[in-house]
Amino acid sequence: MNTKQINKIFISLIRELLLVTVIILFVSLPKSFSQPECMPWGNIRSFHVDGEKMVFETSIRSVKPDWSSCISSERCNWQGEQTYSFDAKVTKMSHFLQELPLNYAVTSTETGPNSVVQEITIDATAPIDQAGTYYCFEVLGSDFVDGTIDIYSGKSKSGSADLKAAIPNGKTEYVRAKGNRIVVKSATREYEVIAGSNTEIFVKQSHIDRPNHLNDPLPVKKFVDSDPLQPIAPYQIYFTIIDGKAKKGDKKTLKYTINVKGKVDKQDVKISIDPSKPGRPFKGIGSNYRVGDIKRDSDVVFYCLDSMRVTWARIALDWREWQPNENENPFINARAGKLKKDFYQQIEMAKILAKRHIPMILSVWVPPVWAIDSTKDNHLPLEHDIKKSLNTKKIEQMCKSIADYIEFLKTDYGIEIPLFSFNEVDYGVWVYQTPEEHALYNKALGSYFASRGLITKMLLGDTGAGTIRSNKIALATVEDSTIHKYIGAVSIHTYHGCTTADLKAWLLSAQKLNLPLMVVEGGPNSAEHRYSINFTEKWFQLSEIDLYVRICRDAQPLTIMEWQLTRNYSVMIGKGLYGDNGPLRPTQRFWNLKQLGSTPEGSFWIPCTVDRPSISAAAYADILNGLYTIHLVNNSATRKATITNIPANVKLLNVYKTDYTRGMQKGESVPVKNGSAEVILESACYTTVTNANFK
């Protein structure tokens, strides 16, 4: 049997395996799923009615006595351990409010097509100086401005107010009354919250300094007067749980029923592409491979490498292990096999990637002690990040040490590294840099790499946040033309920010340097590993691909690199992953990535407009081969979409769909007539329309 025959048999087996895993995925997932978006920290973020996303947020808040800020149930509470579980209808969790002796537990149960019940227990284990502890029901200002709020005690109305763009002058709240039920109405929405017993209810209107739309919420929320991305502040409806200071031993058990209804937007969608204006290229999906045990990770690693096109990879330099002492020769111990197993395992992973001709980014998380400036303490109270500064007096030694490792990979293993970075210098995980320090190290390391004859260039940014604020870290380098020749790409992580304005700022920095923008770590939530089963939850999986499609639309990245295509943050389930002992098989996240990564090689971003809200779209054109691809994520109701301005040579479009029960499933192809095609966009579904054939 010759090599071609063997390869054909192998490819056929892989395809059969993928088909089997799709079937297994379908039959093993729940037949129904909750319509409320229940977060692992106890909040509900929205409720989907007939596919329409009705936006609100519940939370538990302990408010400061002067009402300047509060501590809320929120995702980035890194303290202690929390519990979390979910099934088709019920989500359970327990934790404590950050820095407070206040334990809480929440059970959220979907009780109908437009109803959810939250049962909450509160337990104060020590006194708390506060204005009070509250159950907060927050609604969007844009949804309810010029609407009304009514408070009821039983069947009797005890208070009401008209909701305006701002609280009337001289007042601090709209209304305050005793009651057990509220109804908040606007022209398009009506939400009802029923408490288990009468309590004091009042309505305020405030922005916070780290809002959810920046994907950057912290438990400590400062109330502020304005937000440039949110002209009308949200309305907060507070149900009093503990009025005033909490005493040790205060315990409460509460129940809140939420009923939602509103107009469902089923209007047809018009989508237009513009193939005449190609932008930046998209190479496809990449991944991080910070692994310490290849044997443990191999099943997931090889499944993903064999089943999808991985275009870029990122590995770690364990700098502390490579050169723990400043004045030693790191080559000696490394070549003698005297370093920790994890160190060599990362090299084994690099060898696997290199043999597949996948280019790699090398990043440092933790520096050795000798490279740290011990006189600086950048860490602020309640911060999770380490924020260590490098010692600029040791810059020459640092350049040599890192270059030695890059040379070691080349001389001993035949691996060249195109790009180098320090991880998340904006947050300081671990290395923290100011914009000026970032420019200094980009120039020092970049020029030193060049002097050693290495191809390695610096990766500008590598920030934990894709925000305008974090973009400032890149500006000093962008403004110094003497550094540009040492920069190979601009990069962000997606855990925070990634609004259109944020992404445009990063794209502009990349354009000024005429370099690609890379998403080096992808994912909606940097704290997700604390409640990892949430990776398999329907709404999380949809939110991740929605994030990636929006990034493609607004930032035109070269690649989006998942964190990670390994057992850590796995896109697979089974063989013990997420508590599932069945066979290894893909989750929706795997198929999301495969579908996006199937965009034909040689594709460039092209403009794509959508005339209805809640649908994210990004389009690509492989002009040379006449292939066109449009990625669409529908966060609203099922409706028909008409795509226009399709080139004349395209006569038929394939349709691929991924959702909670389907993995890149090919549907019935749609004809193109006079440059136009119609396709059904199903609710909570990722749809790709293309004249390419995805495999």
Q: Could you read off the pLDDT of 418-443 as tens digits, one per residue?
A: 999 999 999 999 999 999 999 999 99
**Of 671 and 23, more confident:** 671
Please check the confidence at residue 35 and state whether its pLDDT lies above 60: yes
Using a pLDDT cut of 90, give the percent of the chain over it. 91
Tell me where in the chain the CATH 2.70.98.10 domain(s) lie: 36-262
Asked if residue 354 lies in contact with residue 360, where contact means CB atoms within 8 angstroms, the answer is yes
Asked if residue 294 lies in contact with residue 349, where contact means CB atoms within 8 angstroms, the answer is yes
| Average pLDDT over every residue of 96-113 | 97
Which token pair is 589? Answer: 């996240």
Interval 485-504: pLDDT, tens? 999 999 999 999 999 999 99
Instruction: Provide the phi-psi class of 465: left if phi over 0, else alpha when psi is between -120 and 50, else beta.
Output: beta
Residue 34: what pLDDT?
Answer: 63
The string over 58-77, giving b where at least 16 C-beta atoms fall within 10 Å of a residue's C-beta and e elsewhere, is: bbbbbbeeeeebbbbbbbbb
Q: How many CB atoms lie within 10 A of CB 602?
A: 15
pLDDT confidence of 12, banded at 50, 70, 90? very low
Tell me where in the chain the CATH 3.20.20.80 domain(s) lie: 289-522
Asked if residue 115 lies in contact with residue 259, where contact means CB atoms within 8 angstroms, the answer is yes
CATH number of 36-262: 2.70.98.10
For all residues of the chain together, what is the average pLDDT?
94
Please check the confidence at residue 157 and state whether its pLDDT lies above 90: yes
Interval 546-595: pLDDT, tens? 999 999 999 999 999 999 999 999 999 999 999 999 999 999 999 999 99
**Of 29 and 95, more confident:** 95
Residue 121: what pLDDT?
Answer: 98
Please check the confidence at residue 16 and state whether its pLDDT lies above 70: no
pLDDT confidence of 20, banded at 50, 70, 90? very low
Please check the confidence at residue 381 and state whether its pLDDT lies above 70: yes
Residue 22: what pLDDT?
Answer: 42
Please check the confidence at residue 69 and state whether its pLDDT lies above 80: yes
Interval 338-355: pLDDT, tens? 999 999 999 999 999 999
The overall longest dimension of the chain from CA atoms, in Å, is 87
With 0-12 / 13-18 / 19 or more C-beta atoms within 10 angstroms meaning exposed / middle / buried, residue 512 is middle
Cis peptide before 430 (omega within 30 of 0): yes
Q: Which pTM value belongs to this model?
A: 0.94
Q: State the first-to-last Cα distance of the chain, in angstroms, to the nearest integer.
A: 25
| Average pLDDT over every residue of 213-224 | 87
Using a pLDDT cut of 70, give the percent of the chain over it. 95
Interval 632-643: pLDDT, tens? 999 999 999 999
CATH superfamily, region 289-522? Glycosidases (3.20.20.80)
Residue 9: what pLDDT?
Answer: 44
| Average pLDDT over every residue of 301-309 | 98
